[in-house]
Copies of this chain bind each other. A is one copy, B any other.
């Protein structure tokens, strides 16, 4: 059983782990309050304008949607088992994401900040290494490259 924030979970019950449209970072943060949580940690993975010395125009993310969704849910469930979290949500973009836009967001909240930081890092690390989501970088010189490493 997931120990979690039932009221917040209700509010974000419809949150898709994979989103083809822009992530509502500010809206998700605004909703991320829980009366028992003293610490909220938000991670936003954003598109950088350079990578490995190359100027980046934009990225495109591809996912196996059903498996990525299921795996992110499972990672969040594992985090809820490991730490007493009031809130734990994550969402990843697909499609074209431009420089400065958010490609992935993780929000965790707990009574004390150590757990919120640890769970947040755990969730993003596992999403990046395990979820079937890939990025293709489109560079300013017209070339492109499918990513095979984490860049943030």
Contact = CB atoms under 8 A, between A and B. Distances in A.
B121 A117 contact: yes
Contact of A44 (B25, B40, B50, B100): B40
A46 B37 contact: yes
Q: How many copies does the complex hold?
A: 2
A130 to B, nearest CB: 16
Contacts of A112: 151-152
A38 B30 contact: no
A4 interface: no
A41 interface: yes
A138 B44 CA distance: 34
Interface in A111-148: 111-113, 116-117, 120-121, 124
Contacts of A45: 38-39, 113
A135 to B, nearest CB: 11
A39 to B, nearest CB: 4
A36 B33 CA distance: 29
Contacts of A124: 113
Nearest to A121: B117
B40 A46 contact: yes
A42 interface: yes
A85 to B, nearest CB: 13
B35 A49 contact: yes
A83 interface: no
B43 A38 contact: no
